[in-house]
Structure 1
């Protein structure tokens, strides 16, 4: 059995959010994969552990985990548990980079154009942001 999940370190569910809990489960496991809390090849907490500790319906937790299985990030080992697959960290980062470009960068460029900010000016602003 995995050590008891530490609420303050791993998961932080917002039960008042408009985002479904199963998606929060999937996103928070993805985040733990990215930041190394769940390294590739290691076992993640079971559906039962998460559902018991956070008082979430096991079917809801399983739905979030099944999303990650479908995306090739974790795998089920019958009778043993769920494990992070090799390459999962880069897969998550790649998907998040694509989303970042679509949602953030394209919006930023559109807004910069509407404010008549040139590409050069925008790049300077971004560089300044990295320096701060």
Structure 2
């Protein structure tokens, strides 16, 4: 689940952000508590808390005292805007520079992108994960039951 490329708390924050961007976590939806998250992934609760605190600081999650953490109402738009900006700066701009350097005409680049979009649109949709969703409050599901480890 976690790798050695970056601190675990950053990976936690990134996973939750991905679930928000893909729609697996909706606005105002409750996420697992830091203790549930720590128990489920067998990590230190302080590490999970640090990842969640970063998301609160960024405005991605908000706290309801005594209830838990929830996805902020504007979180998906906030994250998509940031990723869109990074996408152009980190992917598109270098691609354009490289295409120019090696003599690939713009029309060929655009044609290739269009083919990839059509191909991606015809592929079956991936099922969204709900691994960061809070267990049902009615006691109907423990994290193990919700995440398929029962």
- Above 0.5 in TM-score? yes
Give the one of 86, 101, 119 matched to 2:106: 119
Structure 2 unpaired stretches of 5+: 120-150
Residue deviations 1:36-73, cap 9 Å, x none?
A: 22211111000000101111111111111111111111
Return the TM-score normalized by structure 1: 0.83
Q: Of the two structures, which has the highest relative contact order with CA contacts closer than 8 Å and spacing of 6 or more?
A: 2
**Could you tell me how far 1:17 is from its partner in structure 2?**
2.6
Extract unaligned runs of 5+ from structure 1: 1-12
- State the distance in 1 between where 2:74 and 2:17 align: 12
2:18 — aligned with what? 31
Q: Distance in 2 between matches of 1:127 and 1:39?
A: 30
Partner of 1:9 in structure 2?
A: none
The aligned residue for residue 102 of structure 1 is 89
Q: How far apart, in 1, do the equivalents of 2:43 and 2:90 lie?
A: 30
Aligned partners of 1:112, 1:97: CA distance in 2, in Å? 21
Number of equivalences = 119
Aligned partner (choices 37, 40, 52) of residue 39 of structure 2: 52
Cα offset for 1:24? Answer: 0.8
State the Cα RMSD in Å.
1.3
Paired residue for 2:5, among 18, 24, 42?
Answer: 18
Residue aligned with 2:92, SS: helix
